[in-house]
Structures are given as structure tokens and as C-alpha cells.
Amino acid sequence: MLAHADPASRPVPAERRAVVAEILRRHGPAYLRDHDVTPAQAKALRAALACRTAALGGHLEVCQDCGGATPAYNSCRDRHCPTCQGSQATAWLAGRIERVLPTPYFHVVFTLPAPLRAIALANPRFVYDLLFEAASATLLELAATRLKARLGVTAVLHTWTRELGLHPHLHCVVTGGGLSLDDQTWVPCPDAFLFPVKVVGALFRGKFMAALVAAYKAGDLHFAGTSAALAHPTAFAATRAALYKADWVVFAKRPFGGPKQVLAYLSRYTHRVAISDARIRAADADRVVIKTRGDRSATMAPHEFIRRLLLHVLPRQFRKIRHYGLLAPANVNTRLVAARASLDALGASRRPESPIASDVPPDPVALPLPTPRCPLCGSERLCREPLPASARGPPRPSP
């Protein structure tokens, strides 16, 4: 609980957990009152405001040694909430262990050029779906033509910069090789090489732009705000020409090793949100300071901070993690099994794992969950009891 009558008047301690949630609780209600937001943005913000508060209910953790009772409130589990992603990431990864193949993997990043960001802001579902479709089709087509094989691809959408600006890009973890098109043998990639990035970028650009232009001609795109001028055919034609001439950036990292490294790498991307508590350097009634790169930081007003956060709320029921090729749901029980058998026959499972970059955390699935302790005496002897009526929040309004 906040000690001051005006919660915005007290600085947020930098070391405090759930700092982003605290900022949202202090300034979110006023932001909702003073600004127009989409239904998805309003839902995400209200979920963060209620997360781990009496509004969602919970229980008491009672220490059997000292008798201390601490309320433990329920989390909102919203995918945009910065305090709810750790457990979800661990659960998701636990269900993916058996789908990771014993082969090196590549990390490939597809980035949309800056002129497309305004269109993405007005048409998020269409643009983000198209980003997935164009990137996955590019990788699968190049694998089919150059390797005569079918890759496994896991793609994760991120939409932010370190300053919380809109920057749609797709992180793809790609098998270093694939199952032959006749489903009989494993076809490896050359060491430390997948495809030429210039070729990947050109094919990705062609696929994305063909679908975008077709949608424009069909009248399926919405233009508003910063993209309003593009509704005019002349302006759109100029932007289209510039996009066709530009080099579309595709970044590919060197291959890294086996299942543990792949899972550790995925844990950095699957359930990440635009900002974490660790990046908040300071916050008070007038400003929020966030860490960007190195020792640099960005300072903004609290409402500007919330506005930038809400840029990254995804459309309702949008799937931000998708699987293709060998990892597509239709292939998991067929071609993925055949790929594993082929790799085992080649002895790939006994191959030493490649080193992984030092900034990748250890495999979160292998880490034991922390044991709850009494905050008063440190005892692990805790039991759960219902919350007293005075500690329960009001009933949640119907959606």
C-alpha cells in the first residue's frame, strides 16, 4: 500500500519489484480517463492495474513458525503484463522440450522498414500476420530450392525498440538443416551458414510487398493518423517505389548448439514484453527514466511512457508465437518424428554442442522453482488460508 494520500507524489524505489506495475497504478487511471485507447489497450492496462492486488483475490500465506500472515494476491496472466511472464515462459518451454531437435540452430531476424510502421500502427493485425507469412514462406522456399529440405522454424513477434518506439520485427529460430522433401533423410546446412542474407532480404521484400500492394488495391487497408496521407494513390505509389528500392534488413546469427541452448535462447524472446522492471532507472510524478543501451537512458512523462507501452498491445487473440515447417502442428507427429530418427541415425545426438553466447541465460526449464519463504522469519513452513473479508477487493466488473 502507498503511504501518501496522493500516490503520484512518492518516488518509486529503483530496487523495488514490479516497478512498471506501480507506475501504471499511479498514472494509468488518469491516462484511461484522458486519452482514447482501443478496447485491447484498455483491457491490457486494466489487467496490469489489477494484477497481484486485492481486486483479483488471493490467499494468506501463514508461517507456522512465527505466525506471520502475508497476503498473496492472484496475477492477471495477461500476456502484456510485465510481472506475469516468467511463469508463463517456463510453462511454455516445458511443453516444447520434446520438439527441439539435436542439431545446431540459427537465429534470423526479419525487420520491417521504417516507412511501414505507420501502416502497421493503423493495420496491426494485417501487417503482423503478413510479416509472419512472408518471413516463414521465404525461409521454407529457400530451404526447398537450395537444400531440397524442409526446415523447422519458430517465429516470435516483437514490436519495440529500447526507447519503446514501434519497430515490428520477427525473431526466428531455425534448424540448421531439414528433412529431405521425400521425408527420408536429414539434410544439414553447411557449417556456420544458412542462406545469403541479401537473397533472404530480397525474397522477403518481394513476398511482403506483393501482398501489401494487393491489399491496397482491394481497399483492405485502413489509413489514419500518421498513415492518413498514404490513402492517396500518388503518396502510396511513392512509398511503394521507395520500399522496393530499399534493402530490407535481415540479420542472421552464427549457429548455436543443442536443445539446452535452444531452449535458453527461446526463453529470451517468447514471453518478453516491451520493458522489464530492471530497465526502470527512476520514476516519480513527473517523469519516468528508462535504460536504453549501454549507459544511455531516455526520460519521458508518465503518460508518454504509458502511450508507448500501449503501442505494443497486440490485437485480440493474435498469436505472437508461430511454428512452421517441421514444427508446424500438422508435422509434429509425422515429419518431426522422422527428422529426429534421421538425426539419431546420423549420430547427431552425440555431437558436441556448440558454444553459446555468454549473454544467454541458462535453461529456465532446468532451474528449480524458488521455495516460498516467510518474509518475517525466512521459514519455509507456510500454509495457505483464505483471505479475510477485509482484505478482499470488490468484485470485478463484467467484461
- Using one digit for the tens of pLDDT, what is the confidence trace for 322-367? 999 999 999 999 999 999 999 998 874 444 344 333 333 344 343 4
pLDDT band at 12 (very low <50, low <70, confident <90, very high): very low
Same domain, 22 and 132: no
Same domain, 24 and 100: no
DSSP H or E segment with residue 41: helix 39-50
Is the pLDDT assigned to residue 172 strictly greater than 80? yes
Same domain, 208 and 221: yes
Is residue 303 in a domain? no
Same domain, 96 and 138: yes
Its pTM stands at 0.83
Q: Which of 132-146, 233-247, 368-382 has the lowest mean pLDDT?
A: 368-382
Q: What is the mean pLDDT of residues 14-40?
A: 85
Is residue 396 in a domain? no
Rounded CA-CA distance 304/289 in Å is: 11
Is residue 324 in a domain? yes
DSSP H or E segment with residue 291: strand 288-291
Provide the total of helices (H) and of strands (E) in the chain, helices listed first.
Answer: 10, 14
pLDDT band at 3 (very low <50, low <70, confident <90, very high): very low
Q: What is the dihedral of CA 346, 152, 275, 201, to 10 degrees?
A: 110
Is the pLDDT assigned to residue 179 strictly greater than 50? yes
SS (H, E, C) 137-165: HHHHHHHHHHHCEECEEEEEEEEECCCCC
Is the pLDDT assigned to residue 89 strictly greater than 50? yes
Rounded CA-CA distance 52/77 in Å is: 10
- Strand positions, DSSP E, 40-122: 58-63, 69-73, 105-111
In the prediction, which pLDDT does 393 show? 53
Is residue 362 in a domain? no
Same domain, 213 and 155: yes
The count of structural domains within the chain is 2
Same domain, 323 and 232: yes
pLDDT band at 9 (very low <50, low <70, confident <90, very high): very low
User: Which residue type is seen at 116?
Assistant: L
Q: Of 346, 321, 286, 298, which Cα lies nearest the Cα of 102?
A: 346
Rounded CA-CA distance 315/329 in Å is: 22
Same domain, 229 and 177: yes
Three cell numbers written together for 253? 546469427
Mean pLDDT of the chain: 84
Rounded CA-CA distance 102/22 in Å is: 43
Same domain, 57 and 101: no
In the prediction, which pLDDT does 387 show? 77
Domain that holds residue 373: 14-80+368-389
Q: DSSP assignment of 186-217, as one string?
A: EEEPPTT--S-HHHHHHHHHHHHHHHHHHHHH
CB neighbour burial string for 89-98, b if at least 16 within 10 angstroms, e if fewer? beebbeebee
Is the pLDDT assigned to residue 369 strictly greater than 60? no
Is residue 203 in a domain? yes
User: Which residue type is seen at 370?
Assistant: P
Q: How many CB atoms lie within 10 A of CB 14?
A: 13
Instruction: Tell me what percent of the residues of the chain surpass a pLDDT of 70.
Output: 83
Q: Which of 4-13, 211-220, 252-261, 273-282 has the lowest mean pLDDT?
A: 4-13
Same domain, 134 and 251: yes
pLDDT band at 30 (very low <50, low <70, confident <90, very high): very high
Q: Residues with Cβ < 8 Å from 11, sequence gap 6 or more?
A: 282, 283, 284
Same domain, 244 and 342: yes
Q: What is the mean pLDDT of residues 64-69?
A: 84
Which residue reads 497481484 in cell numbers?
52
pLDDT tens per residue across span 181-234: 999 999 998 877 889 999 999 999 999 999 999 999 999 999 998 999 999 999
In the prediction, which pLDDT does 261 show? 73
Q: Which of 36-40, 47-51, 230-234 has the lowest mean pLDDT?
A: 47-51
pLDDT tens per residue across span 277-316: 889 999 999 999 999 999 999 999 999 999 999 999 999 9
